[in-house]
Structure 1
């Protein structure tokens, strides 16, 4: 059985898994999630404990969490893109930066998006007429804080070669976060990294595949990228 990735092309965390698959030309089937049905119905007995996507199916093996999927692909479906650095110290640093992009860039972005939902655990219920302003302000403040931290970190450190776990985390998080709180001019290295990532073929493929779904972005997708 070939690999299956269950997800949605507009999902930032699905991008993370897709970038790894595209970078190594790994054969797989993409299974679009049906928003009208819970994941437990679409993947009986093979569901994320929180009902989230992406979910990777490899025969009888189920892999959840985007970072876990990238790690799994690096071990079981390797290719020319290294995904995880071979040097243990560099691998540890890559995993650290992966957490920064997921927890603070992606997390800050999703905090703002969630402020527009009636119930962050049930976004299918619709959008608020007015977002929770405290959450919007808090999420944007967190983004400005992590932008400054990453700019400083980039000034004295080097990222692993593309495409790595860091690429997979940084590309979608910076793509969507910049829509919500633009990366300031005071962070030229981070702005340049976002542009560099957007031009990578695996990332560009995700951007184009997600383009038809931009009208669903709660804040209104900007007319760029």
Structure 2
């Protein structure tokens, strides 16, 4: 039995969960505890950065969400085409995975991190206001990524769902839109977000994460 260590509110855990749900792959979900430091839990002991998700497949331990999806595509394939079989299409899928992780998810997390830092600042004797310059810079990068994706979507086609791209795009766009709403001038990207949220594996992640929305440091919007 596969074991996935993570948390249902984690965007990167969604990546792995979407792939598992899409292929009805049997697995056990091991939720990390908020009462213990991650360093004292299994992921913190086996991941070089102490992050989630972490997948156990027998004696094998796979870290990093993208690598987990690649592992599932090779060792636990199903009807969902996680990685395109055509090598050239696979290159495009991996490129988009990096775009969503680094420039959408990454900049969304910069804003979240700024708010988390301000929340913890008083305990460290530091100022408690979020770093406005960091937030503005991250939002500007998010808008830049949105613009690139809108243009790309106008000239290209995504791999069929559910692919590596689906797994990366869904959590990225879900949370990023909470930070910096996708503009009316980006209809393709707005439509993609809505399309992704309607997919059963993604909707399941959204619903499973609802009880934890109060932990979103900016305050979760009353939608989605």
- Residue 183 (structure 2) aligns with: 184
In the alignment, the residues of structure 2 paired with residue 28 and residue 169 of structure 1 have an alpha-carbon distance, to the nearest angstrom, of 20
Contact kept in structure 1, 2:96 and 2:165, CA below 8 Å: yes
Contact kept in structure 1, 2:118 and 2:129, CA below 8 Å: no
Compute the displacement of 1:37 (Å): 1.9
- Residue 219 (structure 1) aligns with: 218
Q: Where do 1:152-167 residues align within 5 Å?
A: 152-167=151-166
- Residue 109 (structure 1) aligns with: 108
Q: Where do 1:73-222 residues align within 5 Å?
A: 73-118=72-117, 129-222=128-221
In the alignment, the residues of structure 2 paired with residue 32 and residue 115 of structure 1 have an alpha-carbon distance, to the nearest angstrom, of 25
Contact kept in structure 2, 1:46 and 1:62, CA below 8 Å: no
The alignment partner of 2:116 has SS state of: coil
In the alignment, the residues of structure 1 paired with residue 43 and residue 209 of structure 2 have an alpha-carbon distance, to the nearest angstrom, of 26
The alignment partner of 2:61 has SS state of: strand
In the alignment, the residues of structure 1 paired with residue 116 and residue 39 of structure 2 have an alpha-carbon distance, to the nearest angstrom, of 22
- Residue 5 (structure 1) aligns with: 4
Deviations 1:56-109 (A, max 9, x none): 001110000000000000000000001000000000010000000000000110
Deviations 1:130-149 (A, max 9, x none): 21111110111011000000
Compute the displacement of 1:44 (Å): 7.9
TM-score by structure 2 length? 0.94
Structure 1, unmatched stretches of 5+, are none
Contact kept in structure 2, 1:38 and 1:51, CA below 8 Å: no
Q: 1:111 to 1:50 in 2, by over 3 A?
A: same
Runs of 4+ in 1 over 6 A off after TM superposition: none
TM-score by structure 1 length? 0.94
Contact kept in structure 2, 1:40 and 1:47, CA below 8 Å: no
37-46 vs 149-158, which deviates more? 37-46
The alignment partner of 2:46 has SS state of: coil
Compute the displacement of 1:46 (Å): 5.1
In the alignment, the residues of structure 2 paired with residue 61 and residue 168 of structure 1 have an alpha-carbon distance, to the nearest angstrom, of 22
In the alignment, the residues of structure 2 paired with residue 44 and residue 85 of structure 1 have an alpha-carbon distance, to the nearest angstrom, of 29
Compute the displacement of 1:117 (Å): 1.8
Aligned pairs, how many? 222
Q: Where do 1:49-60 residues align within 5 Å?
A: 49-60=48-59
In the alignment, the residues of structure 1 paired with residue 158 and residue 26 of structure 2 have an alpha-carbon distance, to the nearest angstrom, of 27
